[in-house]
Structure 1
Amino acid sequence: MNDRLQTALPPALAALLSRHSLGPRWMVAPGPDAQQLALAVQAALRAPNHGRLQPWRLVTIEEAQRPALAALFEQFARDAGKSEEEVATERERAWNGPVLVAWVARIDSNVEKVPPHEQWICVGAAMGNFMNALHSQGFGAKILSGRKCQHPALVQAFCEEGEQLVGFTCIGTPTRGLEPREKDEASAPLLSAWKPG
């Protein structure tokens, strides 16, 4: 995209094109307050939601709850046979970001008109809107998941019956620029014309 077109972009689109994930080591307090977090959730609610199933919800982890989360991360690490050093690293991840939010999904395989893959698309779209809304408010964020989100102790701690723990979003004030690391180009193979038969 040429520089002239870039400067003519609407502010919302310019913000969208400048977003990228920011690791926890590049975050400091403050994170979003309750009102700023609620705005990000409102943005998530504007994502496509086929059948209005609302297949996701968020759970905040307060500062006083971080030790309990650290114990769950430690349990996962020990059950996975990690070394003592890796166990300590997993415990520390409970303090990722000044604000930490868990994503929980409820995918209903019995909805004929909205199959599971479409429900997962809704979850992902909500995540994208949530992250973009945080970026637009000046915050950095990153979604962290991995095998521990399937560990029974963590699933039990965050999920009700029929739900899955998807990951954790750590959020804070960035200590480095929120510009993308590289330019993205909408070209082949990402964007191409259909050629039937």
Structure 2
Amino acid sequence: METSLVSTMHMSNTHFVIPPEAVLDHLMTRFSMGIKHLVEPGPNDIQLRQIAHIALRAPDHGELVPFRLCVVQGNGRERLADLFETYARSNDKDDEACAIERERALRAPMSIAVISKVINHPVVPVHEQWACIGGAVTNILNAIHLMGFAGKMLSGEKVRNPLIIDAFCDTNETLLGWISIGTPTKSLGTRHEKSVDAILSYF
């Protein structure tokens, strides 16, 4: 696990303080990491609760909390693998494709299902609730990166499969996908940088 950021911490009034430039520099290195490069360990229970707390820091007009998180780990990965395989076979996938679907559930030490609870609200429009959920997902990905883990958001057609939906969702909920999390086995490396100028303007 990465220690460079942790080594920059110092104690102040019994709280860890990280130089802002260290945090910003580290966040600039975050990229998604495929499940084939994720191994044990994943976040422990304390870290998982920290991740959930950070997800709740997303902008949330009306404090509706229009999402919830469902953790898949341990034996839960086998249950998810069974669901993914059943989905694949129901779509006439061959044995190789079914094995790949099982791998998507089993490879990462932990997956977190992101489930939306968007409602019709007299004050908070639907698009603001979705913005909150997107912020929560981003906060989770940034949090695991700062902790030294890596991961990515997985979705696809499976999130619309009735059997999988029933396993995760209550009435009026929507399954967005799963954030796979683990310890990276390779460096994030470098990627083509997107243009800041293409998105930044002034009013």
Instruction: Report the TM-score when normalising by structure 2.
Output: 0.85
Task: Specify the alignment match of 1:191 in structure 2.
Answer: 200
For the 8 Å contact 1:104–1:166, the answer to whether it is kept is yes
- Give the stretch that moved more between structures: 151-160 or 84-93: 84-93
SS in 2 for 1:183: coil
Task: Specify the alignment match of 2:181 in structure 1.
Answer: 171
Q: Return the match for 2:56 from 22, 25, 45.
A: 45
For the 8 Å contact 2:39–2:107, the answer to whether it is kept is no
Task: Specify the alignment match of 1:132 in structure 2.
Answer: 142
SS in 2 for 1:182: coil
Deviation at 1:169, TM superposition (A): 1.0
SS in 2 for 1:19: coil
For the 8 Å contact 1:19–1:180, the answer to whether it is kept is no
Deviation at 1:79, TM superposition (A): 2.1
SS in 2 for 1:172: strand
Q: Which amino acid aligns with 1:124?
A: G
SS in 2 for 1:114: coil
Task: Specify the alignment match of 1:153 in structure 2.
Answer: 163
Answer yes or no: is 1:84 the counterpart of 2:95. yes
Q: How many residues align?
A: 185
Answer yes or no: is 1:56 the counterpart of 2:62. no
Deviations 1:144-168 (A, max 9, x none): 0111011111110011111111111
| C-alpha separation in 2, matches of 1:123 and 1:80 | 30
SS in 2 for 1:89: helix
Q: Which amino acid aligns with 1:88?
A: A
Task: Specify the alignment match of 2:36 in structure 1.
Answer: 25
Instruction: Report the TM-score when normalising by structure 1.
Output: 0.87
SS in 2 for 1:10: helix
Task: Specify the alignment match of 2:84 in structure 1.
Answer: 73
Could you list the runs of 5+ residues in structure 1 that have no partner in the other structure?
1-7
Cα separation, partners in 2 of 1:179 and 1:10, compared to 1, 3 Å: farther
The runs of at least 4 consecutive aligned structure 1 residues that moved more than 3 Å come to: 182-185
| C-alpha separation in 2, matches of 1:38 and 1:142 | 19
Deviation at 1:180, TM superposition (A): 4.2
| C-alpha separation in 1, matches of 2:169 and 2:79 | 16
| C-alpha separation in 1, matches of 2:21 and 2:175 | 36
For the 8 Å contact 1:19–1:179, the answer to whether it is kept is no
Could you list the runs of 5+ residues in structure 2 that have no partner in the other structure?
1-18
| C-alpha separation in 1, matches of 2:35 and 2:108 | 5
Task: Specify the alignment match of 2:109 in structure 1.
Answer: 98
Q: Which amino acid aligns with 1:101?
A: I
Q: Which amino acid aligns with 2:22?
A: P
Task: Specify the alignment match of 2:152 in structure 1.
Answer: 142
Task: Specify the alignment match of 1:3 in structure 2.
Answer: none
| C-alpha separation in 1, matches of 2:146 and 2:76 | 28
Deviation at 1:111, TM superposition (A): 0.3
Deviation at 1:83, TM superposition (A): 2.4
For the 8 Å contact 1:23–1:141, the answer to whether it is kept is yes
